[in-house]
Chains A and B, each alone.
Chain A
Amino acid sequence: MKKILSLSVLGLKQVRRQKLFVAMVFFFILYLGFCLFLGKLSVAHADKVLRDTGLMGIEISLVILSIFGLSLDFARERSTHTLDIYLLHLGRSAYLATKMLSYILASCLYLVISGLALSIFLLLYRSFTPAIFGALYSLLLKITLVIAFTSLFAVVFSSPLLAMSATLFIYIGAELLPSAWEIMSRTPNVYERGVIYTIYAIFPNFSRLDFRYLAVWGNFPSGTQIVQVTIYTLAYLVCVYLLNTIVLGKKEL
């Protein structure tokens, strides 16, 4: 455990110094300008729109950072043979845990920076509510699953482009899943309903992990909700991680 943690901190240093991380921070700051513009358009609802778009901006930039950063990182380590060095020292499952944990820590760092920037921005426009921290926590859980999927696909596919595309599709699919469920659950065909039921059960339930809508209205999630989403995320993370270790264990490098 100690070696995983110390290497994860090393990984965090590495991610923090990457151009992509810095680019995302700048992107978010510029994005806040766009939020301001949207706020001006939204007469009588400016505070809610500012919170909503601000949180969405954090989510988008985090998703880009996680998916692109992690996939390219994997590919780079494979091509430069750094992966061989790590595997020699760590073993495959510990290496995966280290990689995922470094990006989770990097996401935490990014959330702190962007959360601070957003809070200052909202305070300036009298739209701040402490409830956004609840949303940031749920965002962390969501990004944890995105990171887990990214690392799985980065291991499965040798091409980083395929890994990024696959993860993006999972992310978009998971976001649209509740709507698809609503439509498909009305079909009379038993087999179609069975398929959508299975997909709904197994796909990550991002809409339930998202407390953004609560935060936008200034509401905190309840203790039960927080515990539920945390348990769900941890269980899902373990599933994807174990699947990943099985795949990496079988893979020839």
Chain B
Amino acid sequence: MEELISVRNVSKSFSSRFVLKGINLEVRKGEIFGLLGLNGAGKTTLIKIILKFLRPDKGMVMWKDSLLTDAIIRDKIGYLPENFFPPSQLKAIELLEGLASTCTSTLPPSQLLKMVGLEKETGRYLGFYSRGMMQRFGVALCLLKDPEVVIMDEPTLGLDIRGQRQMFDLMASLKDKGKTIIFSSHILSQVQTIADVISIVNRGRVSFGGKIEELLNLHSTKVFEEAFLKEIEKQ
């Protein structure tokens, strides 16, 4: 499969405290890539470096064979931030239509809202949306420019069990549509069902990268949580 995003030897520190050290990983086209790790491992920092919100101290992020630029990010990458709250004074359809004018190619906003199950809430102010609805709206925003890659930082944060299920079903349907998804999560049970490839970030380094089966074999266990904890405690 074609390599879309590759992170090459990226390091980042804040006030002489290392957050990421020599991170290398590749995301291939059409796969669901899970970025796992404990709190403070550096997952969000890595995502922000990929999106060029942060500058790495060392290393680079490549898109196919060239440097990942702002223009590529604007056209090809959609992003759902952690703990996203849309502006409460706007209606869903207004924000989507407004942002649609910035995209070179875009899916119709009404279609997007239907895709995420919000077709009946188009005229409602975003301030009145529930947490689950906000997250789904965030996914709709991600998909506005019909991106090749969708990055989601903790997409199930704050969602109830049904909301989590809906989110993962959405991710599976996006994969069926040919999208590449990068997401970070704590809910290992559901990551196991959906992720094709995972990378475990531990103390600023990628301690494991590959399929979940490989991790289970490595630690001689059939329980993903156990294998994850053993991997974390390995270093």
**B53 with A252: CB separation less than 8 A:** yes
Taken together as a complex, chains A and B put the C-alpha atoms of A94 and B101 apart, in Å, by 13
Interface set, chain B 71-99, CB cutoff 8 A to A:
73-74, 77-79, 81-87, 89-90, 94-95, 98-99
The reply on B55 being an interface residue by CB < 8 A is: yes
Taken together as a complex, chains A and B put the C-alpha atoms of A87 and B53 apart, in Å, by 9
The reply on A81 being an interface residue by CB < 8 A is: yes
**A80 with B86: CB separation less than 8 A:** yes
The reply on B29 being an interface residue by CB < 8 A is: no
**Residues of chain A with a CB closer than 8 A to B89's CB:** 13-14, 17-18
**Residues of chain B with a CB closer than 8 A to A17's CB:** 89-90
**B48 with A253: CB separation less than 8 A:** yes
The reply on A82 being an interface residue by CB < 8 A is: yes
**A89 with B145: CB separation less than 8 A:** yes
State whether A81 and B84 are in contact (beta carbons under 8 Å apart), knowing that A2-B101, A88-B73 are contacts in the complex. yes
**Residues of chain A with a CB closer than 8 A to B51's CB:** 84, 88
**Residues of chain B with a CB closer than 8 A to A81's CB:** 81-85
CB B15 to nearest CB in A, in angstroms, measures: 12
Interface set, chain A 78-133, CB cutoff 8 A to B:
80-82, 84-85, 87-91, 94
Stretch at the interface among A3-11, A159-167, A211-219: A3-11
**Residues of chain A with a CB closer than 8 A to B94's CB:** 10, 13
Taken together as a complex, chains A and B put the C-alpha atoms of A37 and B144 apart, in Å, by 55
The interface size bin for chain A is: 20 to 34
| Chain B: CB-nearest residue to A252 | B54
**B53 with A14: CB separation less than 8 A:** no
**B79 with A85: CB separation less than 8 A:** yes
CB B86 to nearest CB in A, in angstroms, measures: 6
| Chain A: CB-nearest residue to B91 | A13
Q: Mark B89-128, 1 if CB is under 8 A from A, else 0.
A: 1100011001101110000000000000000000000000
Interface set, chain B 33-62, CB cutoff 8 A to A:
48, 51, 53-55
A–B complex contacts, Cβ < 8 Å, 13 sampled: A3-B102, A14-B90, A80-B83, A80-B84, A80-B86, A82-B85, A82-B86, A84-B51, A85-B141, A88-B73, A89-B103, A252-B54, A253-B48
Could you tell me which B residues sit within 8 Å of A by CB distance? 48, 51, 53-55, 70, 73-74, 77-79, 81-87, 89-90, 94-95, 98-99, 101-103, 141, 144-145
Could you tell me which A residues sit within 8 Å of B by CB distance? 2-3, 6-7, 9-10, 13-14, 17-18, 76-77, 80-82, 84-85, 87-91, 94, 252-253
